[in-house]
Amino acid sequence: MQELCVLWFVLYLGGVNMKKSLFVYNEWTLQRHDNTIRFIDKAGNKKDIPIETVGEINIMTQMEFNTSFLNILSQNGIIVHCYNYYDYYIGSFYPKESLISGELLVNQVNHYTDSDKRLKIAQKFIDGAADNIYRNVRYYNARGKDLQSTLDDIDNIRKNIYKSKSVTELMGYEGNIRKIYYKSWNTIVNQNINFEKRVKNPPDNMINTLISFVNTMIYTRVLSEIYKTQLNPTVSFLHEPGTRRFSLALDISEIFKPLLGDRLIFSLLNKNQINERSFTESLNFIHLKKEASQIIARELDSRMQTTIKHKELNREVSYQYLIRLECYKLIKHLIGEKEYEPFKIWWWYCVCNFGLWYIRRTGWRKSSK
């Protein structure tokens, strides 16, 4: 039997072994067989996977399935994220919601329609994103990269976040921060990337392609976590709600992209796991090769399993579960229980402070030039 090209990744929620995230890269037929998901290859060979072990499915290629298959996914609350041949996200199968709260929905909508309440939440999102961006740069600055001017520039702009009078003005500050941040990537990354600005539709170089793919995977992870709460994914505060997208997932993703996405990209490039040979050009845009896509998916999920000691819960939680906790904090804010404070990376302070002390003590930065 041809080897089943399925990547299994175990999600650890709060340090407890939970369900698995499934990535499918080969063309198979997916069917329901009793309480299992059945994979059938072109030769007719079959492999069954118990439905209770699956958390979400990422289909990375052409696939065949029927309504019976979708029905068992819906009954078990399993989201399917679909990508095309070029790793471009095309949409998600979002099962009928089982966690529903009319009261929360009313409060969520009220916080959107009230411009002051909406702006306050949007400011929190950008504050969290900007702080995590700052800490990324500070981390590398403490490791011998000369990025102090970048830190100063970001710090000057983020002082205006809570002075903004509208979401549009706030998004302008966020855009300026990211523009400065992206220029620092040429220093952070040990490859010659010549990266100047973010281009999305379509990505015009390997870094933009990499960012687009990784950010999309973070977006789908956030969407999966929102589904496990009573939040409505279409009512957002930073991004304008619209048709054909789950805009709240875009909001929350902003906070986690520096930790989960950017740090992963830096690691992949600096370890040479991804380089210019990982890409190919077709239809006037650059896209990842299949092998590179699999590496990124594997490494991202490994990062999702990483656990840290939560300073408030006083227990180990995974990066994946941090996203769920962010949803819970937002719910408490919306129902008036506790003011929302965005997630900020707290465990790198000691690392960065030690690095700065070491540099000053030894003059290592000067001698390393």
Angle among Cα 21, 260, 216 to the nearest 5 degrees reads 65
One-letter amino acid at 184 equals: S
pLDDT of residue 322: 94
- The domains of the chain are located at 6-93, 102-289+339-368
Contact yes or no for 104/235 (Cβ under 8 A): no
One-letter amino acid at 13 equals: L
pLDDT of residue 7: 55
CA distances to 127, 190, 221 from 85, in Å:
36, 29, 20
Q: Architecture of 6-93 per CATH?
A: Ribosomal Protein L15; Chain: K; domain 2 (3.100)
Contact yes or no for 214/226 (Cβ under 8 A): no
Taking the C-alpha atoms of residue 276 and residue 293, their distance in angstroms, rounded to an integer, is 13
Model confidence band, residue 327 (pLDDT cutoffs 50, 70, 90): very high
* Domain range 102-289+339-368, its CATH number among 1.10.3720.10, 3.20.20.140, 3.40.50.300, 1.20.120.920: 1.20.120.920
> pTM for this one?
0.83
| Stretch (H or E) spanning 12 | strand 6-13
The string of pLDDT tens digits covering residues 71-99 is: 888 888 888 898 887 778 888 888 777 67
Position 257 pLDDT exceeds 90: yes
The string of pLDDT tens digits covering residues 119-148 is: 999 999 999 999 999 999 999 999 989 999
Spatial CA neighbour of 261 closest among 323, 210, 192: 210
pLDDT of residue 63: 82
Residue with tokens 């190919």: 280
The string of pLDDT tens digits covering residues 178-201 is: 999 999 999 999 988 878 778 777
